Structure 1
């Protein structure tokens, strides 16, 4: 991939991965044992990545989570 010339503008657009309630989805998949979700962080994904990864790792390992994961549970969407 080559860089665009300095006199040329390049427009890049993309959708933000967010949920209807604007909270990420983190936790075990309700219908698929062994599958875990961690998505929907919108524009904060890069910033929240480390703490979201830690929270998910704690849940997977059965350790006490760093924060209450209830608001992020996948089941909230039915």
Structure 2
């Protein structure tokens, strides 16, 4: 099962994507940067996905937006009764 969240913001430079999952890491977008956040959201998402045998990834195109996808194995999904 996959869950994706997409935004239509300014996107993330390809060289910065690897830093997104590092705790307390924030990417400086210069004048477009809005203050706030501790840089823990995506590292927590990735850790929780991995604890359940899954993964998290980011795909982005600068100027168009970004998509964060969490993949969980089928065996972690409980069937509805």
> TM-score by structure 2 length?
0.27
**Structure number having the greater strand percentage:** 2
**Structure number having the greater helix percentage:** 1
- Pick 1 or 2: higher relative contact order, CA cutoff 8 A, min separation 6: 2
